[in-house]
Amino acid sequence: MRFIKLIVKKCEDIRHLNNGGLEILKYIGPGLLVTVGFIDPGNWAANLAAGAEYGYSLLWMVTLSTFMLIVLQHNAAHLGIVTGKCLAESTNGYLPKWLGRPILYSAFAASCMTSMAEILGGAIALKMLFGLPIVGGACLVTVFVLFMLLSHSYRKIERWIIGFVSLIGLSFLYELFLAPVDWAASGQGWVVPAFPEGSMLVIMSVLGAVVMPHNLFLHSEIIQSRKWHLEDKEIIEKQLDLEFLDTLFSMLIGWAINSAMIILAAAAFWTIGKDVTELEQAQELLRPLLGGNAANIFAIALLMAGVASSVTSGMAGGIITAGIAGEAYNIRDKHSLFGAAGSLLAGLLIICCISDPFQGLLVSQMALSVQLPITMITQVYLTSSKRVMGKYANGPGTKTLLIFLTAIVAALNIMLLASVIK
C-alpha cells in the first residue's frame, strides 16, 4: 500500500509541473534503455519455457518481478540524480579501494557474460533468418553494435533503442492477434500466484532474468544525460518526479512485452502439449501453427532484442571501467571505450570458445547469479548513506523494502545457481 500511495503522490506532483505533457515527454528515454535488459534473449528463453510448460499460471511472476524492478531501478536512478555520479563512480569514490575495486571488477566480468548472452541471442536470430552459423552471426552482431556505440551520440542511441523496443512490442501484438489466447486465464494468471508442480526452476529463471547487475549501473549513469542542475533543490525534486514517471512507464512496457511472450507460448504451445527448450525450436513450432510470417517476425524481434540489449550491455561495461578510473561515461574517452569494446569482444570470444549455445546461456546465468547480490547490496548501502545522498538518503521504510527485495532476489539467484550446478 505504501508503494501505491507513492505512485499516486508522484503522479499528483507531476501533474502540477510546468508545460504538462510536452515537458514530460522530454524525459522518457533512460528507462527504456533499461527495459531492453528486461526483454533480452535470456528473458525470451525463460518466458517461452514458462508459457509452454505451465500455460498462463506463471504470469504473476512477471507482475512481481516488474514491481521489484521498478523499486530497484528507481533507487539506482536517484543515486545518479542526487549525487551526479553513477553507481560505479560512487562505489569507487565512497568505498575503500580494497572493497570497491573487487566489486567493480566483478561487475565488469558480469557485463562481459551479459554481452555474451545478448550477442548470442542476436546470432541465434540470424541463424533463424538466414541460416548463418552462430559464430559468424555473433561477429556480425558485435561489429554492428560497436559501430552504433562508436558512431552515435547517446541521444541518437536512445532513439534507436526506443525504436527497437517499439518494434518488438508491435511484433508481439501481431503474434497475439494470430494466436487463440484465453484472456480470462491470462487475467487470473497476472494476479493470482500459482506454483505448479516442478515449476520452481522456471519461476526462479523468470525472476533471475529480470533484475540484472549491469542495468543498475546503466540507469544511474544514463539518467544524467538530461544535464540537470544538481545545485538547485527545486530542480532536483522535479527531476526525481519525472524520473519516476519514466521508470514506471518503461517498466510497464517491459511487463507488457514479457507477459506477451508467456501468453504467446501458452496459446501456441501449452494448449497442444508442446514443450519449448530452445529459441530455434519455438520459431519452428510457430511456423505451422501461426504461419510463416509469424515465425519470421518472431526471429526479427529476437534479432532486435539481441542487438539492443548488446548495445546497453556494452555501455554498462564502459560505465563500469570509467567508474574505476573515477570518471563519468564518455565513449570518446579511453576508459569508457576500453570497457564498452572489452565487454563486447570478451562476450564474442566466449561464444567462439563454446560448442553448445544453450550451455553458454547457462554459464552466463550462473555468473549473473553470483554477482547480482553484490551489486544490489552495494547500491542499497550507498543510497541509504547520508554521507552519499544527504537528505535524499533512503528513509526507514524505503530502506526496509530495498533490503527485503534484495534478500529475495539474492536468495532466488543463489537457488538458481545451485540448481544449475547440480
For 354, residues 6+ apart whose C-beta sits below 8 A from its C-beta are 360, 363
**Interior/surface letters 37-52, b for 16+ CB within 10 angstroms, e for the rest:** bbbbbbbbbbbbbbbb
415 C-beta neighbours (distance < 10 Å), count: 16
How far apart are the C-alpha atoms of 366 and 188, rounded to whole Å? 32
The domain locations on the chain are: 2-421
CATH label, 2-421, candidates 1.10.4160.10, 3.30.1330.40, 3.30.30.10, 3.40.50.360: 1.10.4160.10
Residuewise pLDDT in 10s, the chain (422 residues) = 444 555 555 555 555 555 455 555 556 667 777 888 778 877 787 888 888 889 999 999 889 888 888 999 999 999 998 888 999 999 999 999 999 999 999 999 999 999 998 999 899 999 988 999 999 999 999 999 999 898 766 667 777 888 888 888 888 888 888 888 899 999 999 999 888 887 777 887 777 677 788 889 998 888 876 555 455 666 677 777 778 888 888 888 889 988 998 998 898 888 877 777 677 766 666 665 666 677 788 888 889 888 989 999 999 999 999 999 999 898 889 999 999 999 999 999 999 988 777 667 666 766 777 788 899 999 999 999 999 999 899 999 999 999 998 888 777 777 766 766 66
Name residue, grid cell 549491469: 214
Rg (CA), the chain: 20
Q: What is the reported pTM? A: 0.85
